[in-house]
Amino acid sequence: MTESLKAEITQFLETVYAPTADYRVFVDCVAEDKTLYRDAVALKHAGYYLESAQLYIEFMTKRQSLYLEMLLELFKTTASGGALVEAGRVWQLGIQVADTLLKDEQDAQNALTQLRIHGARFANSIHSETDLRNYLMTISGNPAYVLPAEYVELVAGFTR
């Protein structure tokens, strides 16, 4: 499953970064779209990381819009699913969007703060199997969380 999640995230990021991409940027989606958001979070909590990520990606791709709150959740879902390098790339996209396009909006500042907090926690957690498992358990929302692969395999894309 981790390989499918990696492929899904990679394809999404390639689409977003394509020279012809014209994505609008928002802090969060409108209230009537929150059902999808709740469904994606529930899937993440239940350990269905690929399906959760697919909901976020489909939603943003269909609307040609990036939502900072969804990028934060997509980061958490991707990391929880064991695609750590790809999660880092989603995090970088969120930082880039928040930092460059929404500097003057208070909600964007709040989202940027959350992204930075999670980025620091993520970076600190990858140096220890226990720390990584505890962090991913927290962001997955699943108290029975187990690493989706061997620790060494998960952190292979990072230098120590």
Give the model confidence (pLDDT) of 100-145 as tens digits. Answer: 665 656 667 777 888 889 999 999 999 999 999 999 999 999 999 9
The pTM (predicted TM-score) of the whole model is 0.84
Contact predicate 111/69, CB 8 Å = yes
Question: b/e per residue, 53-90, with b = 16+ CB within 10 A?
Answer: bbbbbebbbeeeebbbbbbbbbbbbbbbbbbbbbbbbb
E strand segments, 43-115: 65-67
Cα dihedral 58, 59, 65, 71, rounded to 10, equals: -90
In Å, how far from its chain's centre is CA 62?
A: 18
- Asked whether residue 42 carries a pLDDT value surpassing 80, the answer given is yes
159: which 2 tokens? 């230098």
Domain ranges of the chain: 2-154
Q: How many whole angstroms separate alpha carbon 46 and alpha carbon 140?
A: 9
Residue 17 binned pLDDT confidence (cut-offs 50, 70, 90): confident
Q: How far is CA 87 from CA 22, 33, 57, 71, 94, in A?
A: 22, 24, 13, 10, 11
